[in-house]
Chain A
Amino acid sequence: MTALAALIRRDVRVALRVGGGALIGVLFFLTVVVLMPFAVGPDLALLKKLGPAILWLGALLASLLTLDRLFMADLEDGSLDLILMSRTPLELACVAKALAHWLVAGLPLIVATPALGLLLNLDGAATGAVALTLLAGTPALTFTGMIGAALAVTLRRGGLLLAVLVLPLSIPVLIFGVAASQAAATGPLSFGTPFSILCALSLASLVIGPFAAAASLRQGLD
């Protein structure tokens, strides 16, 4: 356990220090959401309707963009070699890395959601629903995105390739995340069903993600 705690602590600290760029994701989220009204127009009724979808898309893109460095930074400085040689199973090390990433990149998005909800004219209930679905759904984005990040390391390519690989995988999360928030905001569907599915998706990705990422890292040994 000390090994995993040490890894989480290190990743969080590196992200928060100068050059870490932990908060760039949330800044990107803010910018993307602010851009939306310029495209669709400042019609408050329309924005209210589109609000949950805009917030979810913004969060999806923001958490995807920051995933790029998840394994790449460790590959570049040689840390990945030592992680592979440690007595901690690689799967657990992947869980720790994803968790650390979620803490510095996923959680701030949820914290920023209420302010953005205000800009998009969402009422308290709808904003709360979006924040809650993001809380349940962003771990799924991180853990499935981690598979793409591991593949990107294997292929020594990052950036857009990662996006192309991961975006299709995150479609289910997007569907049920937006469905649950829309249900809470406007009805008529119930909030519970899509939300439970969203939680189930998160839990499943919590299991599948680390195994797939670890397998991909091992395959990509070079």
Chain B
Amino acid sequence: MKLSARDLRCVRGGREVFSGLDFTATAGEAVAVIGPNGAGKTSLLRLIAGLLASGGGSIALEGGNDELTLPEQAHYLGHRDAMKPALSVGDNLAFWRDFLGGEASDMEAALTTVGLDHIAHLPAAFLSAGQRRRLSMARLLAVKRPIWLLDEPTSALDTAGQDAFASLMAGHLADGGILLAATHSPIGIPAQELRIGTIA
């Protein structure tokens, strides 16, 4: 499997965020998207996720499931966690497992991995920022998708959480997944660096 982008351009609100961006990631490879604030890290991820209209260039996935589009094979972990505070932790996760479709895996195991299994019955409103992020991580595990697009994945996580997430990412890569992470700090796994924006 190979995810590649050629000459990507992104325009938002009439302003060109970046252009002429190329990268290639093969199965088992991680890409760390690095750049100053406003360089378009989030925009790049959203563009790949199909959440932003492309301003030019092409993105191609080779060796994936031909019946599905790229966004349908990707997980997007953004700043917002897509969890309803009124529903319980378990219900929130079960919903995304059922709704996102595709190959689902054991939800209990996913919650155990991120360390939330003991509070699965509590409303998501009671979770701290770090715990909410862990719940989002559980979503990546509950539904199998080969491409992970992670926007600042380790923000709000403590050291233990960052280590746990690094091992999750390593596991995903070992399974032949592809991973793009926009980040300011090292993500804890070997990754090729993709610098975007003017480097100050």
Taking Cβ atoms with an 8 Å cutoff, the residues of A that contact B are 2-3, 5-7, 9-10, 13-14, 17-20, 76-79, 81-88, 221-222
Contact = CB atoms under 8 A, between A and B. Distances in A.
Interface of B: 12, 46, 49-53, 68, 71-72, 74, 76, 78-87, 91, 94-96, 98-102
B78 to A, nearest CB: 5
Contacts of B51: 81, 84-85, 221
B82 A77 contact: yes
A7 B82 CA distance: 13
B78 A87 contact: no
Contact of B74 (A2, A18, A78, A85): A85
6 closest A-B pairs by CB: A78-B80, A6-B98, A17-B86, A78-B82, A87-B101, A79-B82
Contacts of A5: 98
A10 B95 contact: yes
Contacts of A85: 49-51, 71-72, 74, 76, 100
Nearest to A2: B98
Nearest to B74: A85
Given A221-B52, A222-B12, 18 more contacts: A2-B101, A3-B99, A6-B94, A7-B95, A9-B95, A10-B87, A17-B87, A77-B81, A81-B49, A81-B78, A82-B76, A84-B50, A84-B51, A85-B71, A85-B76, A86-B72, A87-B101, A88-B101
User: Which of B52, B74, B78, B80 has its CB near the most chain A CB atoms (within 10 A)?
Assistant: B80
B121 to A, nearest CB: 14
A84 B71 contact: yes
Contacts of B80: 76-78, 81
A85 B72 CA distance: 5
A16 to B, nearest CB: 9
Given A7-B99, A81-B78, A87-B68, A221 B87 contact: no
